[in-house]
């Protein structure tokens, strides 16, 4: 494992639970940890069903949308923080990244063999968007009818949410974090998902949380 990436992940895990990535080398052999690529296929229906039951909704698309947004937050948070705080991009290659179900929360992440890359925006997009989120978008849409634009709006919302948490916990990271986030929001598939202004992010879609019993509108919702 790249020692710089390992040290960076250990540090940013202190920001909050969504920033944590387990790097225990024994995880690959643990029965509860499974390759992330399974979420692109056979493991996804059960996870959507679990979220549906937890939320008390009879709409699979609502559960799938919120599961996707939670997973996106789990991916963006440690990557953004490590890139900004330590100048290293954890290379969360899907076949070497692991997940396990968590309650509360979407999933836990682990990367027992993570390497480190230069944290330029193109590399961040390649690791998070192309490696993880684009296959997950396709898998969700194959399972239940969720608009693609809605899912990319969820990804953008998760990214800006990670920025807000990081900026609150470590104010020195606010300006460089915002610059990286603006770069990511300025290129497809996040381009056009919303606007990052002085008061935060305003998205152009809705994650459907308002359709959950007892739910409502999120702070960045287009419907608010």
Which domains, from first to last, does the chain contain? 3-193 (1.10.510)
Do the Cβ atoms of 110 and 28 come closer than 8 Å?
no
Tell me how many degrees the CA angle 201-204-210 measures, rounded to the nearest 5: 90
pLDDT of residue 135: 97
Q: How far apart are CA 134 and CA 47, in angstroms?
A: 18
Q: Where are the beta strands (DSSP E) in 88-168?
A: 89-91, 98-101, 107-110, 115-117
Q: What is the DSSP letter of 125?
A: I
The long-range contacts involving 186-193, CB below 8 angstroms and separated by at least 24 positions, are 187/121, 187/125, 189/129, 189/134, 189/152, 189/155, 190/129, 190/152, 190/155, 190/156, 190/159, 193/149, 193/152, 193/153, 193/155, 193/156, 193/157
Query: For each of the chain's 224 residues, which pLDDT tens digit applies?
Result: 488 999 999 999 999 999 999 999 999 888 889 999 999 999 999 999 999 999 999 999 999 999 999 999 999 999 999 999 999 999 999 989 999 987 767 799 999 999 999 999 999 999 999 999 999 999 999 999 999 999 999 999 999 999 999 999 999 999 999 999 999 999 999 999 999 998 889 999 999 999 999 999 998 988 86
Q: Where are the beta strands (DSSP E) in 55-140?
A: 89-91, 98-101, 107-110, 115-117
Tell me the Cα Rg of the chain: 16
User: CA of 164: how far to CAs of 13, 33, 84, 157, 187, in Å?
Assistant: 15, 29, 13, 10, 20
- pTM exceeds cut of 0.85: yes
């Amino acid at each position: 494992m790249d020692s710089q990436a390992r040290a960076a992940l250990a540090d940013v895990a202190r920001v909050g639970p969504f920033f944590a990535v387990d790097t225990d080398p024994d995880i690959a052999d643990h029965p509860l940890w499974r390759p992330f690529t399974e979420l692109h296929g056979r493991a996804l229906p059960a996870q959507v069903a679990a979220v549906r039951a937890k939320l008390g909704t009879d709409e699979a698309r609502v559960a799938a949308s919120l599961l996707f947004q939670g997973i996106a937050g789990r991916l963006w948070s440690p990557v953004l923080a490590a890139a900004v705080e330590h100048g290293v991009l954890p290379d969360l290659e899907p076949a070497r990244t692991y997940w396990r179900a968590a309650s509360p929360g979407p999933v836990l992440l682990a990367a027992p063999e993570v390497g480190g890359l230069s944290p330029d925006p193109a590399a961040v997009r390649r690791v998070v968007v192309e490696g993880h989120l684009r296959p997950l978008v396709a898998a969700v849409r194959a399972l239940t009818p969720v608009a693609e634009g809605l899912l990319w709006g969820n990804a953008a919302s998760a990214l800006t949410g990670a920025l807000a948490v990081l900026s609150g916990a470590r104010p020195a990271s606010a300006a460089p974090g915002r610059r990286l986030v603006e770069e990511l929001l300025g290129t497809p598939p996040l381009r056009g998902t919303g606007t990052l202004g002085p008061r935060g992010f305003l998205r152009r879609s809705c994650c459907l949380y308002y359709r959950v019993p007892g739910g409502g509108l999120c702070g960045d919702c287009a419907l608010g």
